[in-house]
Amino acid sequence: MTDRKRDVEKPVLVVFRHDLRVADNRALSAAAATGKPVVAAFVLEIDGGARPPGAARRWWLHHSLAALAKAVARLGGAPLILRRGAMGETVAALAREAGADLVHWNRRFEPAAVVADADMAARLFADGIRTERFEGHLLHDPARVRTGSGRAYRVFAPFWRALSSETEPRDPVDPPHSLRAPASLPPSERLDDWALLPEGPDWAEGLRACWTPGEEGARTRLAAFLEESVTDYAVERERPASFGTSRLSPHLTHGEITPAQLLTALKRRRGRGVDTFRKELAWREFAYHLMCSHPHLATDNVDARFDEFPWRQSAADLRRWQQGRTGYPLVDAGMRELWRTGFMHNRVRMVVASFLVKHLLIDWRSGEAWFWDTLVDADPANNPMNWQWVAGSGADAAPYFRIFNPVLQGERFDPGGEYVRRFVPELARLGDKWIHKPWAAPGKALSDAGLDLEAAYSLPLVDHQTARRRALSAFDGIRSTANDRP
Ligand code: FAD
C-alpha cells in the first residue's frame, strides 16, 4: 500500500462539544470532504475547560447527544464515541487509539475552554497529528470587531453599528452526504452511565413537555417561528403570555442550530420583526465579545466600583425568590416558569433579576448561579452579561436608578394576567384589576376568588417603595450611565 493510500485510510477525528449538529458543522463537513473515514466523538469536559453544565442543561445534553448519535448514523457514520475527561488529554488519547492523523473541531470562546483547546492542539502537535479548527458558533470573530482605536466595544449601540457595516456572514454549509465509517473504533462510554438525567425525583416532566432537544427540534422550532411569529416579533416579544419569540436559545446554546442558519432563513423576509430579531442575535454576539475582553464575566464585576457593594446575605430571601414565593405575582410566575420548563421569558428575566439585586439587594452572582443551574439555555456569555447589565455592574449597564416595578411591569406586559395565572394557579380566579397586586385587593375580591392570601399564596416579601428607597441609597455611590438595554 502506498503512503498516500495509507493516509486516506487513516481516520479523521471530529470532536463535538458545543456544536451538536450535522448541518452547518464545518468541522464535520470538512472531515467528510477529505474522503477519509470519520470518527465522531463527543467529549464531556470534567476537568478544567468550559463551565460545567447545570442540571437543566445536563438533561438537555443527554437528549441532544442521543439525537446527534442518530443523525451521525443516518449519514452512514460509525457510532458516536463518548468520552469524559480533560479535553487535551482525552482527545489526544482518542486520536492515538483511533489511529487518526487529523483532528477537526469547531472553535470555542469561553476563556477557560480556549485554554483547554490550546492544550489539546499542543498535545496533538507533539504527537505529530495535524489539526484544523473551524468557525460556526458566532457570526463574527469577537476579537476582530474593534473600535476605531482598536479596542473592544463596551457599549452595544456602536457595536451593533459596526456589525451592521460588516460584510454579511458566510453561508451555512450543508451536512455531509455521507460519512465513511472506519474499519475499527475506539471504545465508547455509555450515555446512560453519565447520569445526566435527574436521579431521585424526576423533575424533568415540564422540560419534556416543552422541548425537543436536538437538531431536528431546532429546525421545527425555527419553521414554527417563521410561520407564526416573526412578522409580529417586534411587538409580541414583550408579552410573556404569548409565544411571540423564537425559543431557539437552548438550541443555539447547544449548537444545534447556528446564527448563520437563522440569518439565511430570514434572508428573503423584510419587516420590523425581522430587523428586531437580527438585533437580538447581535446581543448574543455582543455577550461573546464582552466575555472575550472580560474573561471572568461570570464571577467578577466588569465595573470594579461594585467590588465594595454592600450586598445583603439572606439565604431565606434567596430561597423565596428561587421558589417563586416573593408575593409579587409576575416575579413568582417567572421563577416558577423557570423551575417547571427550564426557560423564562426575556422581559420576566429582567424583572426577576432586578427584583433580586435591587429589591432584595442580593448579589447578582447568586441569581446568575441559579439561572445557570435551572435554564436549559444557560449560556456562558449571555447569562453573566445580562445579569451584570441588570445589576448595573456590566460594561453596557442599566442605569442604577432603573428599578423595575413588578406591579407596573405586570400590568403593562401581562395586562390580562394570563401569564401569571398560568404559573401561579393560586391566583387563577382573582380579577384582572388585582392580579398583579393581590395584597391590595379588597376582602370581597379575595373571598370571591376563594383566596386566603397569606395561607394560599404570600404577602409581599418587601414593600416596593421601601425596597426602592433602600436600593437607591445603596446604589447611590455607584452611578452608572444610561445606555441601551439588551
Ligand atoms: P428571541 O427573542 O427569539 O431571540 C433570539 C435569540 O437572540 C435568542 O435565542 C438569543 O440567542 C438571542 N438573544 C435575545 N435576547 C438576548 C439578550 N438579551 N442577550 C443575549 N442574547 C439574546 N439568553 C441565553 O441564551 N442564555 C442565558 O443564559 C440567558 N440568561 C439571561 C439572564 C438574564 C438575567 C436576562 C435578563 C436575559 C438572559 N438571556 C439569556 C437573554 C434572553 O432572555 C434569552 O436569550 C431569550 O429570552 C431567549 O428566548 P428566545 O430564544 O425566544 O429569544
Tell me the CA–centroid distance for residue 478 and ligand 1, in Å. 27
Q: pLDDT above 70 covers what percent of the chain?
A: 97
Does residue 214 surpass a pLDDT of 90? yes
Distance 182 CA to ligand 1 centre (A): 40
Q: Per the structure block, which three cell numbers stand in for 103? A: 483532528
pLDDT tens for 311-329 read 999 999 999 999 999 999 9
Q: What is the pLDDT of residue 115?
A: 97
Better-predicted residue by pLDDT, 395 or 68: 68
294-309 mean pLDDT: 94
pLDDT above 80 for 400: no
DSSP label at residue 362: B
pLDDT at 448 over 50: yes
- Nearest residue (by CA) to ligand 1, atom 47, is 346
What DSSP letter does each residue of 295-359 carry, written as one string? Answer: TTTTTS-SSGGGGG---B--HHHHHHHHHT-SS-HHHHHHHHHHHHHS---HHHHHHHHHIIIII
Specify the residue with its C-alpha closest to ligand 1, atom 9: 249
- Kindly state the cell numbers that stand for 3: 503512503
Indicate whether 289 pLDDT > 90. yes
Q: How many A from CA of 377 to the centre of ligand 1?
A: 8
- Average pLDDT of 198-202? 90
48 has a pLDDT exceeding 60: yes
Strands, sheet with 12-16, edge to edge from the N-terminal-most edge strand:
81-85, 38-45, 12-16, 102-106, 130-134
Q: pLDDT tens digit string along 240-252?
A: 999 999 999 999 9
Minimal CA–CA distance to 175: which of 140, 139, 136? 136
For ligand 1, atom 36: residue with the closest CA:
350
- Burial label, 474 (beta-carbon count in 10 A; 0-12, 13-18, 19+): middle
- Cα separation, 460 vs 216, in Å, equals 43
Give catalytic status of residue 346 as yes or no: yes
**Per-residue confidence (pLDDT) for residue 475, from 0 to 100:** 86
Evaluate whether 375 touches 384 at the Cβ level (below 8 Å): no
Closest C-alpha residue for ligand 1 atom 43: 346
**Tell me: the pLDDT tens digits for 468-485?**
999 999 988 776 444 444
Q: Is residue 355's pLDDT more than 90? A: yes
pLDDT, tens digit, 9 for 90 and up, residues 10-24: 999 999 999 999 999
Residue 65 pLDDT greater than 60, yes or no:
yes
pLDDT for position 83: 98
Is 59 marked active-site?
no
pLDDT surpassing 50 at residue 381: yes
375 lines ligand 1 (CB under 6 A): yes
- Is the pLDDT at 260 greater than 80? The verdict is yes
Q: Does the beta carbon of 346 sit less than 6 angstroms from any atom of ligand 1?
A: yes
CA of 249 to the centre of ligand 1 (A): 6
Asked about 256 being catalytic, the answer comes back as: no
**Which of 73-82, 357-366, 388-397 shows the lowest per-residue confidence on average (mean pLDDT)?**
388-397
Atom of ligand 1 nearest to the CA of 372: 28
Q: What is the pLDDT of residue 483?
A: 43
Mean pLDDT over residues 206-213, rounded? 97
311 catalytic? Reply is yes
Q: How far apart are CA 486 and CA 484, in angstroms?
A: 7
Nearest ligand 1 atom to alpha carbon 486: 18
CA distances in angstroms from 121 to 89, 168, 317, listed in the order given: 10, 30, 46
pLDDT confidence band for 7 (50 / 70 / 90): confident
Q: Which of 160, 225, 249 best tests ligand 1's pocket when mutated (most atoms within 8 Å of CB)?
A: 249
Ligand 1 in contact with 366 (CB < 6 A)?
Answer: no
Rounded average pLDDT over 268-297: 95
| Closest-CA residue to 406 (of 331, 467, 324, 457) | 331
pLDDT of residue 485: 46
Give yes or no: 301 in active site. Answer: no
Distance, CA of 222 to CA of 247 (rounded, Å): 9
At 200 the pLDDT is 85
What is the length of the chain? 486
* Percent of the chain's residues with pLDDT above 90: 88
| The one catalytic residue among 97, 135, 216, 311 | 311
Ligand 1 proximity of 377 Cβ (cutoff 6 Å) = yes
Query: 131 - beta bridge partners?
Result: 103
Answer yes or no: 194 catalytic.
no
Q: Residues 110-156: pLDDT tens digits?
A: 999 999 999 999 999 999 999 999 999 999 999 889 998 999 999 99
- Rounded Cα distance between 479 and 473, Å, is 11
Catalytic residue among 59, 105, 211, 283: 283
Place of cell 469577537: 142
- Residue 372 in contact with ligand 1 by CB distance below 6 A: no
Residue 431 has pLDDT above 90, yes or no: yes
Exactly one of 89, 216, 236, 346 is catalytic; name it.
346
User: With 80 as the cut, is the pLDDT of residue 6 above it?
Assistant: no
Average pLDDT, the chain: 94
C-alpha gyration radius of the chain: 24
Task: Choose, from 160, 387, 389, 434, the residue flagged as catalytic.
Answer: 387
Residue 2 has a pLDDT of 56
**Tens digits of per-residue pLDDT, 327-349?**
999 999 999 999 999 999 999 99
**199 burial level (CB within 10 Å; 0-12, 13-18, 19+):** exposed
Q: Is 254 in the pocket of ligand 1 (CB under 6 A)?
A: no
Q: Which atom of ligand 1 is nearest to the CA of 377?
A: 26
pTM: 0.96
Name the residue with the closest Cα to ligand 1, atom 13. Answer: 280
